[in-house]
A and B are shown apart, each in its own frame.
Chain A
Amino acid sequence: MIDLDETDRQILRALRQDASLSAGELGRRFGLSQPACWRRVKRLTEAGVLTGRRLVLDREALGFGVTVFLGVKLATKGRVSLDEFERAASAIPEVQTVEHVLGLFDYRIRVVARDLPDFERVLRRRIMTLPGAGNVEANVMLSEERLPGPL
């Protein structure tokens, strides 16, 4: 595990908002030289803390009006069926995330669709037909906010 000082935390907070900030811009903001800042970003990247970047797009403007969180319970279990289920679920283009969880469900899946009829199509043709899929619970997302986390 890597130890962070206050400057590292400030850098992480800033990059979480805007990953395209250069070492020079970050340095000016936090009173560091460009090379000093670059070394800090490099250290955070090499330690695996910064794993990459994600493009932030306006889903609705791109025609994806519906996001649904699914809880899926497998009907049959066993090593083989888990792998098969995971592979098939990950291959669905509308599926954004697949998480293996413990609790009421076996998997948590995030799906985007153009609208509710489009979601129904994805659910019936793609999700319900996944190998081993049993009970499926769907919750349509109304709003979402992301927070900086404990930095």
Chain B
Amino acid sequence: MLDDLDRRLLRQLQSDPELGTAALAEAAGTTPAVCSRRLARMRDRGILRGQEAVIDWHRLGYAVHVSLRFTLDKTHTNAFDVFIREARKVPEVLEIQTFLGGVDVRLAMIARDMAHYQHLYRSRILTLPHIADIEALVHVASIKDEEALPL
């Protein structure tokens, strides 16, 4: 299991993933050698998987961000698999989540503008297999977007 030092290291790294070993060690109150060893151990155990770059799609000309929530027709036994396989082929889809509850699947999708969104919606989304119902939530603003864990 993780101890307090591991948690401190992860907390610091979560708030600033670009910290070097020396700065990280100092912030967490340990030595660079111990810090490196702890990070290596967490990597080996698959806890620390890596870092991903965050891309601002607005800056690439994608002004519209929509959350599409689907209820699937589950009379088809493989409805989820088939739906997800097809949804993956839509380049503008950034995330696919499945749920237990009223909503079966959610897609996060971006589009250049509302006209582009409407085009994608008609040609790529409504044509996905086994849809029983769709709801769209249009993203207005991101208030908190850290996705940090409360370690």
**Chain A interface (Cβ < 8 Å from any Cβ of B):** 1-2, 4, 12, 15-20, 47-59, 61-62, 64, 69, 71, 86, 89-90, 93-105, 107-108, 110, 112, 137-147, 149-150
Count of chain B residues with Cβ under 8 Å from any Cβ of A?
57
Residues of the A chain whose Cβ atoms lie less than 8 Å from the Cβ of B98: 141-144
CB of A137 to closest CB in B, whole Å: 7
Q: Chain B: which residue is nearest A105 at the CB level?
A: B137
Supplied contacts A57-B49, A69-B99, A145-B97, 20 more A-B pairs, CB within 8 Å = A12-B53, A18-B50, A55-B17, A57-B149, A93-B150, A94-B150, A98-B142, A100-B143, A101-B67, A107-B143, A108-B137, A139-B102, A139-B103, A140-B99, A142-B97, A142-B100, A145-B95, A147-B95, A149-B92, A149-B94
Q: Does B76 reach chain A (CB closer than 8 Å)?
A: no
The count of A-to-B residue pairs whose CB atoms sit within 8 angstroms is: 190
**Given A51-B56, A59-B149, A69-B97, is A101 in contact with B51 using a C-beta cutoff of 8 Å?**
no
CB of B2 to closest CB in A, whole Å: 7
The answer to whether B97 and A57 have CB atoms under 8 Å apart is no
Residues of the A chain whose Cβ atoms lie less than 8 Å from the Cβ of B101: 137-140
The answer to whether A58 and B46 have CB atoms under 8 Å apart is yes
**Chain B interface (Cβ < 8 Å from any Cβ of A):** 2, 10, 13-14, 17-18, 45-57, 59-62, 67, 88, 91-103, 106, 110, 135-151
The answer to whether B137 and A102 have CB atoms under 8 Å apart is yes
CB of B8 to closest CB in A, whole Å: 14
Residues of the A chain whose Cβ atoms lie less than 8 Å from the Cβ of B110: 149-150
The answer to whether A49 and B55 have CB atoms under 8 Å apart is yes
Q: How far is the CA of A102 from the CA of B105 in the complex (A)?
A: 19
With most chain A CB atoms within 10 A of its CB, the pick from B13, B56, B96, B99 is B99
Q: Chain B: which residue is nearest A150 at the CB level?
A: B91
The 9 listed contacts between A and B (C-beta, < 8 Å) are A18-B50, A71-B137, A90-B143, A90-B144, A94-B150, A98-B143, A110-B147, A137-B101, A141-B97
Residues of the B chain whose Cβ atoms lie less than 8 Å from the Cβ of A69: 97, 99, 103, 106
CB of B33 to closest CB in A, whole Å: 20
The answer to whether A4 and B60 have CB atoms under 8 Å apart is yes
The answer to whether B91 and A96 have CB atoms under 8 Å apart is no
